[in-house]
Amino acid sequence: MNALITIITALLILSGSAFALIAAIGLNRLPDLFTRMHAASKAGTVGSGLLLLAAGLHADDFAILVRAVAGFVFFVLTAPISAHLVAMAAHKVGYKLDSRSVIDELAEDAS
Amino acid sequence: MTAFTINVIFAVFWVAVSGSASLLNLMLGFLVGAMSLGLIREQANGTSYLRRIGRILSLILLFFKELSLSAWRVAVLVTRPNMQLKPGIFAFPLTVDRDFEITLLANLITLTPGTLSVDVSKDRKRLFVHALDCSDVEAAKRDIAEGFERKILEAFR
């Protein structure tokens, strides 16, 4: 039983850090702020969520596990709001979409 | 009626955050939740709890499925040597009209594959969504309308 929990914890830590790494790679490689927010909000949330779960499992204490899960839930609630605010603010001050963008109905709406 | 459900959720959160899962603590959390709900009371409408709880659970399940899919898609995209991007912002016509439903839909959209909500139009009829792949805008709109928006309408109407 203990060995099983250790293995699951290890897998969670590995996959969590993999997603965090992917979020970082995405931030570097994607062309403009809007596409970058995709990487930061999704892969970032999942990565830190998995790491939190791993910490909760490893503690071997139900109270700590529940707190870790609550932390994950709050992460899921807050990450999209910050991504949304950053994207909206960037669009309002006139940050251009990448040249590969095919459509911008928000700009049409504002004009 | 829904106030009770929210109250129970508050109580569970209280237990989770304060970290002792005893009955007494749950009751204390329920009391604190009831007091905070008393400060912000407004929504009240019919349909039985149980059915609504079932629908909310199915919304949550759909959400976690889409979230893991979404993280996976981002992972595949950014690790490809040549990224196939066709980003853009499209306007999604909203059927939901209550503030909290729009907020929920916007949050769900942000955490699902390839889409990020950017803004709501002033008349609150359209939600502006940034998508990584805008090659088929109509299909993307249909996915949102038939997925999350329908589930939200089922759960909260």
**pLDDT per residue over A59-91, tens digit each?**
878 788 888 888 888 888 888 888 888 888 888
Per residue in B93-125, pLDDT tens? 888 878 888 888 888 888 777 788 888 887 778
Same domain, B73 and B116: yes
Q: What is the reported pLDDT for B45?
A: 43
Mean pLDDT of A95-105: 70
Whether B132 is covered by a domain: the verdict is yes
Inter-chain residue contact B128 with A105, CB threshold 8 Å: yes
**Per-residue exposure over A61-80, b if at least 16 CB sit within 10 Å of its own CB, e if not:** eeeebbbbebbbeeebeebb
Query: How many residue pairs from chains A and B have C-beta atoms closer than 8 A?
Result: 142
Q: How many domains is chain B partitioned into structurally?
A: 2
Same domain, B61 and B111: yes
Which residues neighbour B68 within 8 Å (Cβ) at sequence distance 6 or greater? A46
Same domain, B6 and B77: no
Residue type, B122: K
Distance of CA B136 to the CA centre of its chain: 24
Q: What is the ipTM of this complex?
A: 0.72
Tokens coding B77: 């995209």
Q: What is the reported pLDDT for B53?
A: 63
Could you tell me the end-to-end alpha-carbon distance of chain B, in angstroms, rounded to an integer? 13
Phi, psi of B143 (to 5 degrees): -55, -45
With residues binned 3-state (H G I as helix, E B as strand, rest as coil), the percentages for chain A, rounded to 5, are: 85, 0, 15
Whether B44 is covered by a domain: the verdict is no
Inter-chain residue contact B78 with A98, CB threshold 8 Å: no
A12, A21, A35, best to mutate vs chain B, most B CBs in 10 Å? A35
Inter-chain residue contact B89 with A103, CB threshold 8 Å: yes
Instruction: Look up the pTM and report it.
Output: 0.70
Inter-chain residue contact B128 with A22, CB threshold 8 Å: no
Same domain, B15 and B75: no
Same domain, B33 and B104: no
Distance from CA of A106 to the nearest CA of B (A): 6
B10, B67, B77, B116, best to mutate vs chain A, most A CBs in 10 Å? B116
Same domain, B67 and B11: no
Nearest to B91 among A30, A38, A105 (CB): A105
pLDDT above 50 for B49: no
Strands (E) located in B68-145: 88-93, 115-120, 126-131
Distance from CA of B118 to the nearest CA of A (A): 5
Range of the domain at B134: 49-156
Q: For the sheet containing A103-104, what is the strand order?
A: A103-104, B88-93, B126-131, B115-120
